[in-house]
Amino acid sequence: MFIERQRKAPIYEALKRFKSERVVPFDVPGHKQGRGNPELTNFLGKQCMELDVNSMKPLDNLCHPISVIKEAEELAAEAFGAAHAFFMVNGTTSAVQSMILSVCKRGEKIILPRNVHRSVINALIICGAIPVYVNPQTDERLGISLGMRLEDVKKAILENPDAKAVFVNNPTYYGICSNIKEISKLAHQYNMYVLADEAHGTHFYFGKNMPTNAMAAGADMASISMHKSGGSLTQSSFLVIGPNMSEGYIRQIINLTQTTSGSYLLMSSLDLSRKNLYLNGEDIFQKVCSLTDYARKEINEIGDYYAYSKEIVNGDSVFDFDHTKLSINTFDTGLAGLEVYDILRDEYGIQIEFGDLGNILAYISVGDRQRDIERLISALAEIRRLYKRDKSGMLKMEYISPQVATTPNEAFYADTKSLPIGETAGYICAECVMCYPPGIPILAPGERITREILDYIKYIKEKGGSLTGPEDLELEYLNVLS
């Protein structure tokens, strides 16, 4: 029965009906099915522009769905094993923020790893919740943050029994998974909600032999970037919830910040991608795993690179590993991941997901081809041959434990002054500083600036990293508490 239901795509089908009816538009958008902007129509295509429409009775309304969007949400919930699913068109950022705003109010605590996406910190700025950080373990060889140890989560819960929720990355950008099932059990014993950032875990719901997904683990809410590994359009995501959450209240929270003009291009892409993954996901992600495993093997034979996988699993801080992630350590080539990232793009026409101090991530998903994998492998081999150098003097660690002085909300809205960044050591930061991607803050509002952090920022700038977040786009100045 589920298979037959999942063959439906209600939003897509409603758009097809709408197009066939040749309705005359006296509503927004003003381009009127593309006629008012011919250059854009020629660029994007007539069909795309004709389907860029506004909410109306036959197409339902994202803020208050009662027909085709409601049915599409029900199908998505069924596909993800959730009690309910919400279509998110403001990106997974809005899904993450809706999760936090749904369970935390000003002055309430949330337990979370510090290596979270900037959207989490921004949610804390908005709602005034107090972060209780569980510093992740780190892998000294790879220079990356790992997951949260169960023991560390338990310690944080026992020391903060009044916390409202525990937040889990499932997985991290690098593919590292914490023991989300046991974390969920533990949190629920203390009446805390479990929120999962599954921006990089869409395939956990549809592939075989994947790490445990949040809904199967018993988490209460999960934000899922369907556009990353699921094939939908950029900015389209799902927020899914378990049976103990109020659908109506969470929709109210979502509607605080999400647009009232939901894009039907984004929503139809979610609808069709859900259908595709439910019907074909096992085959799709088996192919993805085969491509990634092949790439790992070939890259590791080049020498000096290390494309890591499940061999780093230790059952605790690396409880599991997402082997669709082609994470590659570059340290032994003498090149920072940031440098390899730039060389691949500038010299070889290859755009990978990100580079940090010692790693790169090549994102392999539903649309990749064998010939593209071969091109990446060949480019990495040539980069090693042409650019390899002595690795002495390289910085390695991606994570620096923060010194939290006040909450993100209090720091962001406090009286501040702007200082040359080199003079800010010892001050409390009033804004975010991060390398994007991956968008994990190096500094968050409320954290004390140390000389180690300033040296780290300087090194990233020297290596060509893209630092974002502060008011001064050049990051010559930083806002600190007065």
**What are the pLDDT digits (tens) for 200-249?**
999 999 999 999 999 999 999 999 999 999 999 999 999 999 999 999 99
- When mean pLDDT is compared across 252-261, 434-443, 455-464, the lowest value belongs to 434-443
% of the chain beyond a pLDDT of 90: 88
Distance in angstroms (rounded) separating the CA atoms of residues 324 and 171: 11
- When mean pLDDT is compared across 23-27, 151-155, 186-190, 392-396, the lowest value belongs to 392-396
**pLDDT at res. 1:** 61
Task: Give the contacts of 69 (CB within 8 A, at least 6 positions apart).
Answer: 10, 11, 59, 60, 61, 62, 87, 267
- Element (DSSP H or E) covering residue 306: strand 306-307
Q: What is the mean pLDDT of residues 273-295?
A: 97
**pLDDT at res. 436:** 76
The domains located in the chain, with CATH, are 61-260 (3.40.640.10), 281-387 (3.90.1150.10), 408-481 (3.90.100.10)
Give the tens place of pLDDT for each residue, 416-440: 999 999 999 999 999 999 887 777 8
**pLDDT at res. 194:** 98
Match 């593309």 to its residue by tokens: 34
Residue with more model confidence, 184 or 114? 184
Give the tens place of pLDDT for each residue, 352-370: 999 998 999 999 988 899 9
Q: What is the mean pLDDT of residues 288-309?
A: 97
pTM of the model: 0.95
Hey, is 137 helix, strand or coil? coil
**pLDDT at res. 25:** 87
**Is residue 23 over pLDDT 90?**
no
Pairing outcome for strands 165-169 and 109-113: parallel
Q: What is the mean pLDDT of residues 284-298?
A: 97
Mean residue pLDDT of the chain comes to 95
Instruction: Return phi, psi of residue 176, to 5°.
Output: -85, 130
